[in-house]
Structure 1
Amino acid sequence: MSDPVLETLLLPLLSGEVEPGSDPKALFMRARAGQSLRDLAPAKLVCEQSFAPDRDALQKSGFEVLAEVAETGFDLVLVLPGRQRQEARAQLARAVSKAVTGGQVIACSANTEGAKTLESDLSDLLGRTEKLTKNKCRAVWGTVQVENLNQDLLEKWSRLDKPRTVLEGAYVSRPGIFAWDRVDPASALLVSHLPETLKGRGADLGAGFGYLSRAILEKAPKVAAMDLYEAEKRALDLAEQNLSAFKGKRALNGIWSDVTKGLEGPYDFVVSNPPFHQAGRADRVDVGQGFIRSAAGGLRPGGDFFMVANRHLPYEQTLSDVFANVAQLADEGGYKVIRAVKGKGGR
């Protein structure tokens, strides 16, 4: 698939406008795989990626991938900042901190996802930047020079996405995580329609910072175990903290993976508020459909799948294809809650 943001990020290197040296030590934050990266990647490139599908694609392409890079002293730092502004600013500050004096930082965003703000923010940090626009995206770059750095801003922005308590201290979260500082109304609606009689071993697909799983453990005393599947490791680490009260009382397992590739199972029940955006604003119904198929594959015969989704998303056909019985439990506030039962024969 075409990735115009990645392609534009690399253009300053291809054009020679940025020359990091003959054998640069390079870091790519929020890295994504693509042919343009394979064609250009320096030999000493380290990729940082905490989102499982992108991690998997990079590893398949032969790159070294770490969820978080502790090392500093890079000659070149590439970064694709997130859409949430506090997280994006923290990522820019971290990119600058990872570079050596005289090193280059290159960042890129789509025009529809804050490219002008990105240019302004990196300029505020470095003192001077250059830009290139193409593919409806903007690449911005600059040299890290101590005399030009805004040290106060660098320190302030470095703290912007740190974990902190939210919801009156009930949870720990951080910017950049889905619905990071609130209870998502779709998840709350799903919780309200989950029975207290849930029992056995369950799975939460796309667990986020742990709201659904914790609500289930609080509501259904006969649930003995919960596996939390989450593609974003930063969220999964938070979920572990938010469910700490249940450690030693219920069996808990965090699984950093791409749910669409399948579940460990078998489960007595599965719950999910599947994502429908990935690296863009367009609806991605294929992600939710993948969650549905994985849920069916991971359930024992007769097991229950409870999901919530935006009303307009077309999941009913996929549900009917892989489950024996499908029923809508609620249609409120633009969301639908659905229960599906796996047939005794496996379907």
Structure 2
Amino acid sequence: MPALQDAPLQTLFLPFSHAGLRWPAGPVLFLRARDGWPLREHAAPGQLVCAQSFRPFADALGRSGWQVVDEDALDADDTRYALVLVLPPRQRDEARALFARALSSLAPGGIVVACQSNNEGARSGESDLQQLAGLGGKLTKNHCRAYWTAPADGRHDEALRKRWAALDAPRGIVDGRFQSRPGVFAWDRIDPASALLVEQLPVDLAGRGADLGAGWGYLSAEVLARCPKVTALDLYEAESRALALARRNLAGSSAKLDFRWHDVTAGIDGRYDFVVSNPPFHTPAREDRPDIGQRFIAVAAQALRPGGQLFMVANRHLPYEQILNESFGQVRVAAERDGFKVIVGTRGGRA
């Protein structure tokens, strides 16, 4: 039997057809929402409020006509929902904070329904929701686990909810030099691949540059600290939670900065003197996708001026050589260490 395209999403809705849960008539909140046919089978037009911080998923939801909001903006929303759907992330502190948010968004008598794949922390998620609010039921199918609360009656552990709500708050890392939060890439450390790339950056980088997949801003911060001739830097990042951190981490820079919540694989505008990148090679669902990194390389080449350079780092095994050679006039490996390689591509006149 072929694998389901989005097994957690499809399993999330099974309690309404297999376990007797009733779909409400009023507004429904969907945290970490993803688009798919189960939404159209259950939700009426205008009923779903979808919170999604990852730009490709948010764009897909918007194209299908669903309302998409920023997750942190829900703090100022006093709407209470009879149903809150959750696709929890793998990172446990982040997931616990999401459960706390879901519970605080419930109307009296409302329920939280969550689902995770078995290899993405489903048992831990079920245990955490049970500890916080008690369970009304669960089911397993498609190598996933769906679980839900009993109707909210105000008897949940409010002290625990408040503690968990603070678990993904921004906090200082690297001796307070940067702000980060659980769930973003390399949230509590300097990623060793990015550190290797920084070691290879020439100090004479100048002009306007771009950071593709900027995360919480480490590469950009190092470019600005090491390369005083850089006058402008555009940060492209698909995860808005990370981009908000980058804004904080680069505050006070004398260079002109532009923070762009954007899916790089869709292409970028602008002409750059240089590009730096530690491109992703999997989705937030941890699906292996080397084609994402390949697309980053092609987009970087298109955005560079003739003679402009791409400085990127990647796992040594990833199949990037063909697209690099097709996209750049010159390609060289500048460094290799601990399974990573730093590649420098120079755009030719006809790239």
Q: TM-score range by the shorter chain?
A: over 0.9
Q: Distance in 1 between matches of 2:236 and 2:126?
A: 35
Write the deviation string for residues 74-107 of structure 1: whole angstroms up to 9, x where unpaired. 1110011111110010001101111111101111
Q: Distance in 2 between matches of 1:188 and 1:56?
A: 32
Write the deviation string for residues 172-216 of structure 1: whole angstroms up to 9, x where unpaired. 110001111100000000000010010000000110110000000
Write the deviation string for residues 323-347 of structure 1: whole angstroms up to 9, x where unpaired. 11111111111100000011112x1
Tell me by how many angstroms 1:17 deviates.
Answer: 2.2
**Matching residue's letter, 1:51:** F
Tell me by how many angstroms 1:148 deviates.
Answer: 3.0
Answering whether residue 43 of structure 2 is matched by residue 41 of structure 1, we say yes
Say whether the 8 Å CA contact 1:106–1:140 is kept in structure 2.
yes
**Matching residue's letter, 1:266:** R
Tell me by how many angstroms 1:20 deviates.
Answer: 3.6
Write the deviation string for residues 253-276 of structure 1: whole angstroms up to 9, x where unpaired. 000010001112100000100111
Q: Distance in 1 between matches of 2:44 and 2:123?
A: 28
Say whether the 8 Å CA contact 1:130–1:142 is kept in structure 2.
yes
1:50 is matched with 53
Q: Distance in 2 between matches of 1:16 and 1:132?
A: 8
Tell me by how many angstroms 1:147 deviates.
Answer: 4.4
1:322 is matched with 327
Mean Cα deviation higher: 316-325 or 228-237:
316-325
Q: 1:250 aligns with which of 251, 255, 265?
A: 255
**Matching residue's letter, 1:252:** L
Q: Distance in 1 between matches of 2:121 and 2:314?
A: 27
Say whether the 8 Å CA contact 2:27–2:48 is kept in structure 1.
yes
1:312 is matched with 317
**Matching residue's letter, 1:321:** E
2:282 is matched with 277
Answering whether residue 82 of structure 2 is matched by residue 75 of structure 1, we say yes
Say whether the 8 Å CA contact 1:308–1:335 is kept in structure 2.
yes
Tell me by how many angstroms 1:37 deviates.
Answer: 1.8
1:214 is matched with 221
Q: How does 1:30-179 map to 2 (within 5 A)?
A: 30-43=32-45, 44-68=47-71, 69-70=73-74, 71=77, 72-179=79-186
1:195 is matched with 202
Q: Over aligned residue pairs, what C-alpha RMSD do you find?
A: 1.3
DSSP-derived class of the 2:135 partner: coil
Q: Distance in 2 between matches of 1:257 and 1:89?
A: 27
Q: 1:342 aligns with which of 332, 338, 347?
A: 347
| Matched pairs, number | 343
TM-score normalised by the chain length of structure 1: 0.96
Q: Distance in 1 between matches of 2:270 and 2:11?
A: 41
Answering whether residue 298 of structure 2 is matched by residue 293 of structure 1, we say yes
Q: Note the residue ranges of structure 2 that are not aligned, 5 or more in a row.
A: none
Tell me by how many angstroms 1:238 deviates.
Answer: 0.5
Write the deviation string for residues 120-158 of structure 1: whole angstroms up to 9, x where unpaired. 011111123311101100011113433430111111101
DSSP-derived class of the 1:340 partner: strand
Q: 1:25 aligns with which of 24, 27, 39?
A: 27
Tell me by how many angstroms 1:39 deviates.
Answer: 2.0
Identity %: 53
DSSP-derived class of the 2:13 partner: helix
DSSP-derived class of the 2:83 partner: strand
Write the deviation string for residues 254-313 of structure 1: whole angstroms up to 9, x where unpaired. 000100011121000001001112133342101101111111111111110010001111
**Matching residue's letter, 2:27:** K
DSSP-derived class of the 1:274 partner: coil
